[in-house]
Amino acid sequence: MTSPQTTRTRRWRGAVAAVAAALVTVPLLSACGTDTPRSLLASIKNGDVVLGTKYDQPGLANRNPDKSHSGSDVDVSEFVVKQIAKNNGWAEPKITWKETPSPLRERMIENGEVDMIAATYSISAARTKKVTFAGPYLTTYQALLVSKKTANPIKSLEDLNSGRKLCSVSGSTSAINVKAALPNVQLQQYDGYASCVEGVRRGVLDALTTDATILAGFQAKYPDEFDIVPMTYPKDVTLTSSTGTKTEKKKGDQFSTERYGIGLRKGDGEALSEVNKALRQMTLGEQGTTTYDAEAVPAVPSCMVPAAVVSTYTGLAYANPDNELFKALRENLGEYANTMIEQGRPVEGGKPKSVLVAVPGDQSWLLPDKDGNVKVTVNGATMTLPKADPQAQCTKAGV
């Protein structure tokens, strides 16, 4: 039987423990954010900006042993922030980096833990419900990383369909796409890309699949060990999503197309405009940006980027092959960077093998009025889209 004295002692100890836990928790919560999204432009102007990125993707976004950061996404982030400061006559701000794991990115923007995120951050319909995306600044595709040293090398996607072992990270759609098209492949899911890469290096796995840019970073980290194999559908196939939605894929179609953007707080139109301008300056240079803004931007906002504008943008980018974006790719992604750049080069009278330079996205054409609404022209008629979600209204209107 428990005595009253013992009971009081336990309650007292429990109270002390609760207070101690609260004291520990308060600073932790304070360190995580303010629950209020940050203003990127205000942070840059005030001289202290917090940038989100990955810490474990060589060539793209990596934290080095000396705690410095390197990679093409890091270079893009730094260029954008410094260019915005320059464009506005502000001093360059102090940059603080924060790791932004994929499942937490939207929440970290919403909670005010970071001002913006560039971290192989693919623009998607689901994500745009929570954050605003600048860009895209880069287009990439799903591919395979395979060993150069194996006796039975994988040279095409069909080579996987003989019971070979394919790796991707848990929950990734990359491996699921392959499994749907190649039912005989042995799918292995690991917790991280580094584990998959090590498995391919040791011959335990035959291939890793994810974005070609991510694979290029590992290829550059381990010279002469890996090849990158493009992935297109070997035959016509119908894919069924977890929600039952069916998608028709034709032979030769890319398995997936990823457009990397910069995540900002939802609805921050001023920051969106400033970041997109900085991205144009990174890709086109100062003179190319001036030409593009004067000649290519439509006078009347529209839901979709006109084809002629895409052509003008790409042409200006490739007119300066040493632009800051291409330079960042070459310096960080090794030999495959040149492959990506060449495959995206404009072809007179036809289409390039793939798209690399992504014209600033549809959101940059949605120019709000003083009330926050967006007026666009559809088939010659002007329509007003509510500020809540103009992109959804564009889709609904079929434009």
pLDDT of 237 reads 78
Q: Where are the domains of the chain?
A: 40-137, 139-258
Query: Which pLDDT band holds residue 96 (cuts at 50, 70, 90)?
Result: very high
pTM score: 0.80
| Complete DSSP assignment for 142-203 | EEEEEESS-SS---SGGGGGGT-EEEEETT-HHHHHHHHH-TTSEEEEESSHHHHHHHHHTT
Q: What is the DSSP letter of 358?
A: P
Q: Which residue has the higher pLDDT, 375 or 388?
A: 375
* 192 to 101, 121, 144, 248, 332: CA distances (angstroms): 11, 16, 16, 30, 20
- Report the mean per-residue pLDDT for the chain: 81
- The tokens describing 64, both together, are 């080095």
Query: Which pLDDT band holds residue 231 (cuts at 50, 70, 90)?
Result: confident
Helix, strand, or coil (residue 70): strand
- Fold: same for 40-137 and 139-258: yes
Quick one: average pLDDT of 169-189?
77
> Which superfamily does 40-137 belong to?
Periplasmic binding protein-like II (3.40.190.10)
* 160 to 184, 231, 369: CA distances (angstroms): 8, 11, 53
Query: Which pLDDT band holds residue 113 (cuts at 50, 70, 90)?
Result: very high
- Mention the CATH class of domain 139-258: alpha beta
Q: Residue 396: pLDDT above 60? A: no
* Contact status, residue 154 vs residue 207, Cβ threshold 8 Å: yes
Q: Residue 397: pLDDT above 90? A: no
Amino acid at residue number 226:
F
pLDDT (tens digit per residue) in 288-330 = 999 988 887 666 555 666 777 788 889 999 998 899 999 999 9
Quick one: average pLDDT of 237-248?
72
pLDDT of 299 reads 61
